[in-house]
Structure 1
Amino acid sequence: MDIFVTGASGYIGGSVAERLKAAGHRIIGLVRSEAKAEQLRARGIEPVIGTLDDVRLLTEQAKRADAVVNAANSDHRTAVEMLIRALAGSNKPFLHTSGSSIAANDARGEPDERIYRTLEEVTPEPEKAARVRVDQRVREAAAVGVRSVVLCNTLIYGHGLGLQRDSVQIPALVRQAERSGIARHVGRGLNRWANVHVEDMADLYLLALERAKPGSFYFVENGEESFKELVQAIADALGLGEAQSWPADEAIAEWGFEKAMFALASNSRVRADLARAELGWQPRHGSVVDWVRQELRQG
């Protein structure tokens, strides 16, 4: 198939694009600059230069393609609406990327026992309510003839398969540890996040493209760890001794409220039961802590 991928130079979009290309599909990738376009061409991906705000470009590319993967911005409602309108009545696959911070809470390093398996179970914090509405809008596109699917990624680890090597959460923790000489978790670090290896994530996008029913929603997860355990693994990998607690206000000053509170100090405990049962997904990588200790400094 000809597949239009937004965010094709990013960590998620680039990894997905490479996986789909390896499966024999032709990838058309949206990028912002000629420099990125040249890099994609070198990888055998046809670049299109533009942004998610370009109505005509997104419409043309969606209509041309056999499938669309939106991996550029989980919260860009306007782009989602444009793509749905362009795909309406076609029954083409539309894979939209979300993130499991929709299930995160303001825990500041404290634990939470709640575990989520479906979107319907999630009552988001106010800061994440708009993203949930976007996810719901994508699912509703099934009613107008779009094979729409939401893939809700958890903490992704592993070196990216495309142009961008690093993800978001672990690299932020690593950079702070390298600068300060102290690996830190927010508060007690007992907050837990589900996680998934980037290669397993990309495999699930391919399965969703091939098998998912219209209106589906899948959490993308294969295990979970506390941030205390994760940050200690980073400390071990960097030779920094014992990980230490960090007050929330200092973490916010370092990373900003959004990243500190929702990406690094919250709980996001979800399960990918539906992806395994409905799509036959069998992830191969099982431990983010082992990856950090053994492979963080490689690649």
Structure 2
Amino acid sequence: MKVLVTGANGFVGSAIVRELQKRGHETAGLVRSKEAAEQLEKAGIRAIRGSIEREELLRNAAKEMDAVIHTAFFHKFSQAGLSAKTRILLGGSPGHIPARFMKEAVGAECRAIRALGEGLSRKSGSIVIALPTMTLKAGTVGKESDDGDPGSVGGGRVASERTLLELAGRGISASLVRLPPIVYGTGDRGGLLPSLIRIARSKNAASYIGDGMNRWAAVHRSDAAKLFALAAEQGEAGSRFHAVGEAGMPFKQIAESIGRHTGTPVRSLQPAQAGAYFGWLASFAAADNPVSSEQTRERMGWKPEERSLSEEMEQGDYFKS
């Protein structure tokens, strides 16, 4: 099978590429930089240079494929194109820049999903997209059958889910894999866990909000990659899968582990203090996001095999300087 992976040099995307190679699939990767393209080529992966904003490029690339796994997203301002950056910076009040950034990022993703789907539709190919579990309603155990909640902390990306389901409604084999807030493993530098560790070191305290009993789900990136591959191979139109190895660890427990390894005190914050400590992460740090993967395991025969988050924090390289 010929498979295109967008965001192929990312933390999750690169693991997916390796998994597809192991399964014998002919794999291509969409990347933005020359350096990333060279790394792919050295690994025997065909590199396609470009951004997810280049809809015609995506459409044409998808025409050549049997499947697409879409993991790319504008997580940083620097990843957006010039016109998007201009709209973000000059489109209104400076205080609304974060909201404009998210609008541009989601808009680009929705257009990319449509373009990829249009290309694949001519070959009856399949498309799988990555979405966060934090698009689900907070405070309840999220299930695969649950629709994304626009009122959730990740609710902005529910539009991407709806765009994908529109493709499924047109008969395209379109499915999604939801990823928990902590996707861990060797090489993680830009995820939420290393972000929390950096904050603890800079603030000289590992903190949680209130009683810290809000839960975050987690998965090892290698286990997640296996599920993406399975979804591309077997997923049916409209399927939703959860790449969740652990349904939910209390945030306080995460903070305690960070405090122990960084030698910083562990402290509870009042909600009003969260913004000053966590910055842009404050709303996520307060979210209760337990997630089940029971339906995924039963349907796909998927079973996480890598070490747990607790084991990774004890034995991995997260706390090495």
TM over 0.5: yes
Aligned with 1:120: secondary structure? coil
Is this contact kept in 1: 2:199–2:278, CA < 8 A? no
| Structure 1 residues 118-156: Cα deviation after superposition (integer angstroms, max 9, x where no partner) | 343553316644422321321332233321110011133
* In structure 1, distance between residues paired with 2:244 and 2:152: 24
Is the aligned partner of 1:120 residue 2:146?
yes
Is this contact kept in 2: 1:234–1:293, CA < 8 A? no
Letter in 2 for 1:81: R
Taking structure 1 as reference, are residues 21 and 166 closer, same or farther at Cα in structure 2, changes over 3 Å only?
farther
* In structure 2, distance between residues paired with 1:126 and 1:231: 23
* In structure 2, distance between residues paired with 1:271 and 1:221: 7
Taking structure 1 as reference, are residues 166 and 159 closer, same or farther at Cα in structure 2, changes over 3 Å only?
farther
Task: Please name the residue that 1:217 is paired with.
Answer: 240
Cα displacement (A) at 1:275 = 1.0
Q: Which moved more, 1:179-188 or 1:59-68?
A: 179-188
Is this contact kept in 2: 1:103–1:269, CA < 8 A? no
Is this contact kept in 1: 2:56–2:115, CA < 8 A? no
Task: Please name the residue that 1:243 is paired with.
Answer: 266
Aligned with 2:288: secondary structure? coil
Pick from 270, 283, 290 the counterpart of residue 261 of structure 1.
Answer: 283
* In structure 1, distance between residues paired with 2:61 and 2:6: 10
Aligned with 1:210: secondary structure? helix
* In structure 2, distance between residues paired with 1:49 and 1:249: 44
Alignment of 1:5-154 (within 5 A): 5-73=5-73, 75=106, 76-103=109-136, 105=138, 112=139, 114-120=140-146, 122-125=148-151, 128-154=154-180
Taking structure 1 as reference, are residues 227 and 129 closer, same or farther at Cα in structure 2, changes over 3 Å only?
closer
Taking structure 1 as reference, are residues 255 and 182 closer, same or farther at Cα in structure 2, changes over 3 Å only?
closer
Is this contact kept in 1: 2:34–2:49, CA < 8 A? yes
Is this contact kept in 2: 1:89–1:145, CA < 8 A? no
Q: Which moved more, 1:114-123 or 1:64-73?
A: 114-123
Taking structure 1 as reference, are residues 122 and 66 closer, same or farther at Cα in structure 2, changes over 3 Å only?
closer
Aligned with 2:146: secondary structure? helix
Task: Please name the residue that 1:176 is paired with.
Answer: 199
Is the aligned partner of 1:291 residue 2:315?
no
* In structure 2, distance between residues paired with 1:127 and 1:261: 7
Is this contact kept in 1: 2:135–2:152, CA < 8 A? no
Is this contact kept in 2: 1:139–1:217, CA < 8 A? no
Aligned with 1:235: secondary structure? helix
Letter in 1 for 2:34: E
What are structure 1's unaligned runs of at least 5 residues?
106-111
Aligned with 1:27: secondary structure? strand
Taking structure 1 as reference, are residues 121 and 147 closer, same or farther at Cα in structure 2, changes over 3 Å only?
closer
* In structure 2, distance between residues paired with 1:177 and 1:216: 38
Is the aligned partner of 1:277 residue 2:281?
no
* In structure 2, distance between residues paired with 1:187 and 1:38: 47
Aligned with 2:236: secondary structure? coil
TM-score, length basis structure 2? 0.81
* In structure 1, distance between residues paired with 2:166 and 2:313: 38
* In structure 1, distance between residues paired with 2:172 and 2:251: 38
| % identical aligned pairs | 28
TM-score, length basis structure 1? 0.87
Higher relative contact order, structure no. (Cα contacts within 8 Å, ≥ 6 residues apart):
1
Is the aligned partner of 1:155 residue 2:181?
yes
What value does the CA root-mean-square deviation take over the aligned residues? 2.3
Pick from 196, 211, 235 the counterpart of residue 188 of structure 1.
Answer: 211
